[in-house]
Structure 1
């Protein structure tokens, strides 16, 4: 029995190829059934995200194993083999175990140390467990990888610092306000970055969120998800005084929040401080706002400085995490070899007993 990990990811393949090799949730069961119909495949898990598609397999070793599996993947997706081979990686046994542990721990992610991948790996494992896993060693490999990912998070600082603009904005807010459970946040815009910000804020149980956007439909969909109120951009002047934190990211060519607007809001708030985080380019908030007393304005460049500092910290933590993965992978392979040896001894004893019975 051999453990394999093969696939493509954001480092080896452009998005044009990655999107052609994805497995949708609707077709996953059919794909796994087709994969397990290959005579040498004993069990399999398919991990398919926007940044990677990977097959984790338990197989019987044979001479043309790589040829058969690459041909299956190409036939299933209607791909030219030469196109796929240029981007495909292939890991076996110890390398396959190490690779899965690195993936689950966020060490192989586009954003180093990002936590979402662990949930995606767990879901892939759960989806494949519905009759497609079949092999205890493969299941044990995944369970071990989950515990390794947890150990990496616990024993290193791989996920301690913000390395995305959205996360950095929320981290800044939590540094300035002791607790978000007592603050009101105004989000201006409803694009991808604001969506991520809103989800981070919901996780930290912010007291109230208000979303201001040009079109109500998109803002309402996000508001329904995170439990926010929706207002029009034209309402910002009136509602700004309620906000302790303003995070803005629109595609407006001109500033949406001006100095006079913030002055009026501060006066109505009796100069209680306001944090304004402008992550738009061009800027949504007039730079002069930063000169006002009790108005603390941060631009996207300020956040990038935070991100670069934090990324350096994550890279240092990744070195420690790689040591953990190497150790855990070696221990897992030692366990696997012991299991194989025990199985061989059991088979030998069974055969010897059968011969003894035949002779008596």
Structure 2
């Protein structure tokens, strides 16, 4: 048996090619059945995300990586040169290390991101349902899940914010000890604001208001997070109730001005407001930062936080790599032991056949009334000769060839020279 990984990712292929090589939920079950049915493929898992498509295979002794590559090419009707130029391949212990690195987020576009682990678990589950796991890949994927958990526990790989949305919420968390007690005004309803809302919900924020130019888009977002919806024109009357304002729109001009914030602070009796402007161009006038009790942060401020946190993640990644090498070696030890298990089984079966043959011969002689002592002596002699025949031949041949290394291995295996 051998382990193989074939794949493309955000580092080797364009978005256009990654889209063509992707396995959506509608075709993944059929693709798995076909891949498992490919000659030489014993087990298979297909991992397909927006940033990568990877085939994890356990091949029988006749299995070839070319067969897997040809299957991928034909399944998606791809040009061979186009695919091959973007394809990477890992085998054996490098395949094991690669899966562990992917599961830990070390091979991701955003270093240390946790979403990939859930996507790998989903791919594992799909393969399990399709009958694509028979033991080796099942153990490898389970091992990778435990490695990812260990890396998250023993390192700081996921502790620091490295996205603008996460950094904005992390900043708010630094300033307000209990975000669950704050009121948040989100300006805009795009993807970034949606991510902000998701992170806020994870921090137990329940009082959110979404302000947007069109109410329909804001209502779709508000339903998911049980938020209130207002128009941009209503911001001045709702701003005094907001402890935190996070804004990200595509407006060419500022939406929140210095005068608007100043009036809100008077109504709040100068209770502070945190304003985070992650829009380019800016949504909030920079002069707001001149006001007492108004704390304004821009995307540039967040970028500094993100860069510091990325450096912390890079240091944690070094620790994670050491953990992965340790866990890889453990898995490979188990994987290599499978070959010895087969040899031991065959050796025992051969010895048991000799025993049964000689025991049958001895019992037959006893039934015929022959001398028991003579029968037992002959049984012991014949059984001993049969058991030592093959090792004796191997020792004699190694001596004839002058192979001292093989002689030493045989001597150790047979327990010679140990008394």
TM-score w.r.t. length of structure 2:
0.83
Alignment partner, residue 138 of structure 1: 137
Q: Tell me, in whole angstroms, the C-alpha distance in 2 between the residues paired with 1:80 and 1:353.
A: 55
Alignment partner, residue 165 of structure 2: 166
Label 1:262 to 1:334 Cα distance change in 2 as closer, same or farther (>3 A).
same
Report the Cα offset of residue 358 of structure 1. Answer: 6.7
Alignment partner, residue 273 of structure 1: 272
Instruction: Indicate the structure with greater helix content.
Output: 2
Q: How does 1:1-360 map to 2 (within 5 A)?
A: 1-62=1-62, 65-354=64-353, 360=360
Label 1:21 to 1:358 Cα distance change in 2 as closer, same or farther (>3 A).
farther
Q: Tell me, in whole angstroms, the C-alpha distance in 2 between the residues paired with 1:52 and 1:5.
A: 12
Secondary structure of the residue that 1:194 maps to in structure 2? helix
Report the Cα offset of residue 355 of structure 1. Answer: 6.3
Q: Structure 1, residues 279-314: CA drift from partner, whole Å, max 9, x if none?
A: 000000001111111000000000001111111111
Q: Structure 1, residues 118-149: CA drift from partner, whole Å, max 9, x if none?
A: 11111111111103333211111011101111
Report the Cα offset of residue 354 of structure 1. Answer: 4.9
TM-score w.r.t. length of structure 1:
0.97
Aligned residues: 359
Report the Cα offset of residue 335 of structure 1. Answer: 1.3
Q: Tell me, in whole angstroms, the C-alpha distance in 2 between the residues paired with 1:177 and 1:133.
A: 49
Tell me if the contact between 2:33 and 2:130 (Cα under 8 Å) persists in the aligned partners.
no
Secondary structure of the residue that 1:45 maps to in structure 2? strand
Q: Structure 1, residues 245-282: CA drift from partner, whole Å, max 9, x if none?
A: 00000000000001111111111111111000000000
Q: Structure 1, residues 84-134: CA drift from partner, whole Å, max 9, x if none?
A: 111111111111110000000000000000111111111111111103333
Larger Rg: 2
Higher relative contact order (CA 8 A, sep 6+): 1
Label 1:351 to 1:24 Cα distance change in 2 as closer, same or farther (>3 A).
farther
Report the Cα offset of residue 350 of structure 1. Answer: 3.0
Tell me if the contact between 2:32 and 2:132 (Cα under 8 Å) persists in the aligned partners.
no
**Greater CA drift, 196-205 or 335-344:** 335-344
- RMSD between superposed Cα atoms in Å: 1.4
**Greater CA drift, 276-285 or 120-129:** 120-129
Q: Tell me, in whole angstroms, the C-alpha distance in 1 between the residues paired with 2:179 and 2:284.
A: 22
Tell me if the contact between 1:43 and 1:135 (Cα under 8 Å) persists in the aligned partners.
yes
Gaps of 5+ in 2: 361-419
Label 1:221 to 1:356 Cα distance change in 2 as closer, same or farther (>3 A).
farther
Q: Tell me, in whole angstroms, the C-alpha distance in 1 between the residues paired with 2:350 and 2:27.
A: 43
Secondary structure of the residue that 1:324 maps to in structure 2? helix
Secondary structure of the residue that 1:19 maps to in structure 2? helix
Q: Tell me, in whole angstroms, the C-alpha distance in 2 between the residues paired with 1:140 and 1:226.
A: 38
